[in-house]
C-alpha cells in the first residue's frame, strides 16, 4: 500500500569465468571480488547469496491514493477504491511486514541471476476479510519467479479486518509493494 516501480538489476551479475585469466581484476564496485575460493582444485566459485523480502507501507494506502480528500468510489464489481476505515492485516503494519519477511521464499533462479526489485501486487479484501483477485501491476515484470512468489504470498495471507464504509464491511482494493533484495 504505497507506490513503487518494478525494477530488475542484472548489471551486477557474478560470473563463473575466471577474472584473472580473462584479463580483468574481478573486483566489483563495492571492492569485493564476488568470488569465494573453494574446493581442492582452487577453482573460483560465485559467492553464496541469499534473498529477502520486505514491504514499504504507508498508512491507509489504496490504489487511488492515500489522501482523505480522494472520493470514495465503488467500481462495477462493487469494490471500493478506499474505505472510511481501511482494511487492516491482523496485528497491523508490523505484523504484515513480519508475515511477508517470514513467508517469501526467494526463487533460486532470481538469486542465480542477481534479480532484485519491487513487485506491486493489487488485491481485494472482501467483506469477510478474505484476500481475492491478487495480480501483479505495473509496466515491467521483475522476472525470475519474483512476480509469482509475490502473488503466492499475498494469496496465502490470513484474513484481514475488512474495510468499512458507513459502518458496513465492504470490498476494498489495496496495493502491496514487496521489495525483493539480495544479501551477500
Dihedral (CA of 35, 40, 43, 49) sign: negative
Q: Are 14 and 47 in contact (CB under 8 A)?
A: yes
pTM, rounded to two decimals: 0.67
Closest alpha carbon to 133 in 95, 92, 79: 79
First to last CA, the chain: 28
Beta bridge partners of 136: 121
Task: Output phi, psi for 158, to 5 deg.
Answer: -70, 170
What structural domains and CATH numbers belong to the chain? 50-183 (3.30.2420.10)
Query: How does pLDDT run along the chain (184 residues), one tens digit per residue?
Result: 433 333 333 333 333 333 333 333 333 333 333 333 344 444 444 445 566 666 765 443 444 444 566 788 889 999 999 999 999 999 999 999 999 999 999 999 988 988 888 999 999 999 999 999 999 998 778 788 899 999 999 999 999 999 999 999 999 999 999 998 888 6
Amino acid at each position: 500500500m504505497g507506490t513503487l516501480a518494478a525494477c530488475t538489476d542484472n548489471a551486477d551479475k557474478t560470473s563463473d569465468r575466471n577474472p584473472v585469466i580473462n584479463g580483468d581484476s574481478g573486483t566489483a564496485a563495492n571492492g569485493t571480488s564476488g568470488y569465494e575460493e573453494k574446493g581442492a582444485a582452487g577453482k573460483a566459485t560465485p559467492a553464496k547469496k541469499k534473498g529477502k523480502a520486505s514491504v514499504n507501507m504507508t498508512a491507509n494506502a489504496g490504489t487511488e491514493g492515500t489522501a482523505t480528500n480522494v472520493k470514495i468510489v465503488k467500481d462495477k464489481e462493487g469494490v471500493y477504491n478506499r474505505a472510511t476505515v481501511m482494511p487492516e492485516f491482523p496485528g497491523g503494519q508490523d505484523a504484515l511486514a513480519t508475515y511477508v519477511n517470514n513467508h517469501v521464499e526467494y526463487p533460486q533462479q532470481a538469486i542465480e541471476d542477481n534479480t532484485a526489485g519491487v513487485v506491486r501486487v493489487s488485491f481485494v479484501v472482501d467483506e469477510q476479510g478474505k484476500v481475492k483477485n491478487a495480480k501483479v501491476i505495473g509496466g515491467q515484470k521483475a522476472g525470475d519467479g519474483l512476480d509469482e512468489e509475490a502473488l503466492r504470498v499475498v494469496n496465502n495471507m490470513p484474513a484481514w479486518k475488512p474495510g468499512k464504509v458507513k459502518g458496513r464491511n465492504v470490498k476494498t482494493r489495496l496495493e502491496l509493494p514487496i521489495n525483493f533484495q539480495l544479501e551477500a
